[in-house]
Amino acid sequence: MKNQWIIFLYGRVTVKISGRGIERLLNVLTRNGIDIWNVKRHGADTITLKIKLADVMKIRHLARKSGCRISFLERSGAPFLLKRMVKNSGFLIGAAMFIVIVFLLSNVIWGIEIKGAKPATEYQIRQELDKMGVKIGKFQFSVDNAEGIQRKLSNNVNQLTWVGVELKGTTYHLQVVEKNEPKQPKKLKPRNLVAKKKAVIVRMDIDDGQKKVDVHDYVEPGQLLVSGEIGQEGEETKLVAAKGEVWGETWYKSHVELPIKTTFHSYNGKEKRKYYILIGGLKIPVWGFGKHGFKEYKTEKNVHKLHFLKWELPLSYMDKTIREQEALIRTYTNKEAEKKALELAKKNIKKLVAEDAIIKDEKILHKVIKNGKVILDIHFKMIENIAVGKPITKEIHE
Amino acid sequence: MAKTWVGRVRSWMAKNMDLPQDVMMDLPRITMIGQIHIYIENHRGLLSFSDKELRLLLKQGQLLIKGKSFVIKTILPEEILLEGKIDQVIYINENSGGTK
Domain layout of chain A by residue ranges: 4-82, 111-178, 188-260+332-398, 265-325
pLDDT tens digits, one per residue of A305-360:
888 877 888 888 888 888 888 888 888 888 888 888 888 888 888 888 877 888 88
User: Can you give the pTM of this predicted structure?
Assistant: 0.46
pLDDT bucket at B67, cuts 50 / 70 / 90: very high
pLDDT of residue B2: 47
A272-299: pLDDT as tens digits: 888 888 888 888 888 888 887 888 888 8
Q: Which residues of A touch B64 (CB under 8 A)?
A: none
Please identify, in words, the CATH class of the domain defined by A4-82. Answer: alpha beta
Q: Which one of B46, B50, B71 has the shortest CB-CB distance to A26?
A: B46
Interchain CB contact of B74 with A (< 8 Å): yes
Query: What ipTM describes this predicted complex?
Result: 0.78
Would you state the pLDDT for residue B26? 81
Nearest one of B58, B53, B59 to B89, comparing CA atoms = B53
Q: Which residues are CB-neighbours of A90 under 8 A, at least 6 positions away?
A: none
User: Is residue A2 pLDDT above 80, yes or no?
Assistant: no
Nearest CA in chain B to A38: B73
Could you give the domains of chain B?
Answer: 26-92 (2.60.40.2000)
Cα–Cα separations (whole angstroms), residue A193 to A196, A199, A298: 9, 14, 54
Q: How far apart are CA A41 and CA A45, in angstroms?
A: 8
Query: CB distance A23–B72 less than 8 Å?
Result: no
Residue A385: which H helix or E strand, with range?
strand A373-385
| Whether domain A111-178 has CATH 3.40.50.970 | no
Q: Tell me which residue of A318, A227, A224, A226 sits closest to A276, measured CA to CA.
A: A318
Say whether B75 and A1 touch across the interface (CB within 8 A).
Answer: no
Backbone angles phi, psi at A389, to 5 degrees: -75, 145
Amino acid found at A385 = N
Start-to-end C-alpha separation, chain B: 22
Which of B50, B30, B77 is closest to A41 using CA atoms? B50
Q: Which residues of A touch B71 (CB under 8 A)?
A: 38-40
B79 to chain A: nearest residue by CA?
A30
Q: Does A30 contact B72 at a Cβ distance shorter than 8 Å? A: no
